[in-house]
Amino acid sequence: MEKRYAAMVVGTVTIVSSLLAAPVAQASSSGAASLAVSGGGCYKHSTNLRLPGWDIGDCISNRGTQTQVYPDMYINTVDRIPGNCLVVLYAIDRTIHRTARSQQFPCATGHYEIPHFNATPGHAYATQATVFGTDTNGDADSWGFDLSPELRF
């Protein structure tokens, strides 16, 4: 009796543990497999030693979608503004090492967004802000800031 009971318990534990370890299937209305999105967020206080007094937060998210990339940035502080200044926010496809989107913005504090776009399944995206202008000698220059965390689809 004890052997039969022990065998039943072991069999039940084996079945339950295999069910717990099995991947959960997720239904989708289109019948296509859902993307598993991970990562994203902000690099909140990116600075560039060559352009003191600037603080830019590079951000990227999916805003709860499974297919959209939402690039944005916060220009938190601006000190010395280079001549002919503009800030370009790049949304970079890190999988193929190419710019997916970019947009120019003024050199002023505030929140700025690139219009969202469709993600490519299996790709990772990040943002990077770069300030363009002329240095104190009047020469064209650029000052890059840190990449946001990656957003993976």
The full DSSP string for 5-49 is: HHHHHHHHHHHHHHHHHSPPP---TTSSPPP--EE-EEEEEE--T
Q: State the pLDDT at residue 63.
A: 96
List Cβ neighbours of 50 (8 Å cut-off, separation of 6 or more).
143
Question: What's the pTM?
Answer: 0.75
* DSSP conformation class of 88: E
- Those residues of the chain that have pLDDT short of 70 are 1-36
Q: State the pLDDT at residue 35.
A: 57
Q: State the pLDDT at residue 151.
A: 98
Q: State the pLDDT at residue 49.
A: 87
- Tell whether 78 is covered by a domain: yes
8 Å CB contact between 124 and 152: yes
Q: How many residues does the chain have?
A: 153
- Structural domains counted in the chain: 1
Q: State the pLDDT at residue 47.
A: 86
The domain in which residue 147 lies consists of 38-152
- Tell whether 2 is covered by a domain: no
- Tell whether 116 is covered by a domain: yes
- Tell whether 117 is covered by a domain: yes
Q: State the pLDDT at residue 129.
A: 97
Please report, for the domain that includes residue 147, its CATH number. 2.60.40
